[in-house]
Amino acid sequence: MDTTASLSILLLLFGISVANPVRKPEPPAFVPIPGNVDITTKFLETNKGSSERLMHGDIVIPKTRNALYCLNNNCFWKKNSKNLVEVPYIVSSSYSSADISVIQNAMSTFHNKTCIRFVPRVNQTDYISIEDKDGCYSYLGRIGGQQLVSLKRTGCLYHGIIQHELNHALGFYHEHTRSDRDKYVKINWEYIPTDKASNFQIQNTNNQNTTYDYSSIMHYGKTAFSNTVGKDTITPIPNAAVEIGQRQDMSNIDILRINKLYGCV
C-alpha cells in the first residue's frame, strides 16, 4: 500500500476528513513566547488530544523506517539541478493569511541559511501537506507521496514550533534521544510515566560529528512528560543549570546539521 493510501486510511480510521477543511474563527493575535518558557510543555499539551499515533511527543509513527539512517538515503528530500533541496508544500485553506505568513516566515530561516527550499507544490509527487489538525506533529523524513505536517492553529503557529516540525520532516530526531545523549543529559526515569518512557528512548542517530546541542530547537525542555510538579525529567550534566527546550529559532548547530545532512555548500 502506498503511503498516501495508508495515511488516508489512518485518518479515516479516526474519522478525520481531509477533503472538507472547516473555516475556523480567527486565532488570537500571534504572541511570541518568552525565551524562558518551556515551550515543549506547551506543544505536548497541545498534542494531548491528538488522535494520531504519536511517538516522542510529536512524531507520527513511521510506517517502515528510521530517518537519518535509511536505505539509499531514500528518506531525504532530493536536490534539484541547481543544488537546492526542494520540499514542495501545500497548506490547508483553513489557515488565515496571517497564519500562512507565520509559517512562511519560519520557512525563510531555512531558505536564508541552508539549501532547503520549501516551495509551493505544482505537481511534485512527494510533498508536505501543512494542515490544521489536532496537534503539532510530523513524520520523520520524506516518506513518499503526500505527508502530513500538523500545525494546529491554536498552539502550534509559533516560529520555533513550526521550525521544529519542519526539521522532523527533513529527517531529524529529537536532540535528547541522540545516540550519545547519556554523556550530556541525565534522564530522570522516576518522574516519567511508564507509558511515556518511549519518548526518551535513545535512537540510532547519525550525529554527523556535531556536538551535543543543548540549544537545539529539537531538544525537549527539562519538565517534558514529568509526572510530578517541580521535578525535571531531563537534567543537563554536568551543569544542571544549562537551558534546554528553546523554541525561539534554530540554533547554529541545527543549521549546520541541515547543511551537512543535505550537502549544502
Contact residues for Zn ion, defined by CB under 5 A: 58
* Annotated binding-site residue? 168: yes
Residue 88 or 221: the one with the smaller Cβ distance to Zn ion is 221
* Annotated binding-site residue? 176: no
Closest approach, Cβ 58 to Zn ion, in A, equals 4
Closest approach, Cβ 16 to Zn ion, in A, equals 21
CB 162 within 8 A of CB 103: yes
Closest approach, Cβ 216 to Zn ion, in A, equals 11
CB 106 within 8 A of CB 163: yes
Cβ-count burial 109-119 (b if 16+ within 10 Å, e if not): bbeebbbbbbb
SS3 102: helix
Residue nearest to Zn ion (CB): 58
Residue 175 annotated as catalytic = no
224: its cell numbers: 517534558
Helices and strands per DSSP (H, E), number in the chain: 5, 9
Closest approach, Cβ 152 to Zn ion, in A, equals 14
Nearest to 264 by CA among 125, 84, 107, 144: 84
Residue 59 or 255: the one with the smaller Cβ distance to Zn ion is 59
* Annotated binding-site residue? 56: no
Report the distance separating Cα 28 and Cα 2, nearest Å: 38
Which residue in 52, 86, 131, 165 is the catalytic one?
165
Distance of CA 234 to the CA centre of its chain: 19
Residue 121 or 214: the one with the smaller Cβ distance to Zn ion is 214
264: its cell numbers: 549544502
Q: In the chain, where do the E strands start and end?
A: 54-55, 59-60, 85-91, 116-120, 127-131, 136-138, 146-151, 185-187, 234-236
DSSP class of residue 79 equals: B
87: its cell numbers: 520540499
Closest approach, Cβ 50 to Zn ion, in A, equals 13
Binding residues are 164, 168, 174
**Residue ranges at the known binding site for Zn(2+):** 164, 168, 174
Residues involved in catalysis: 165
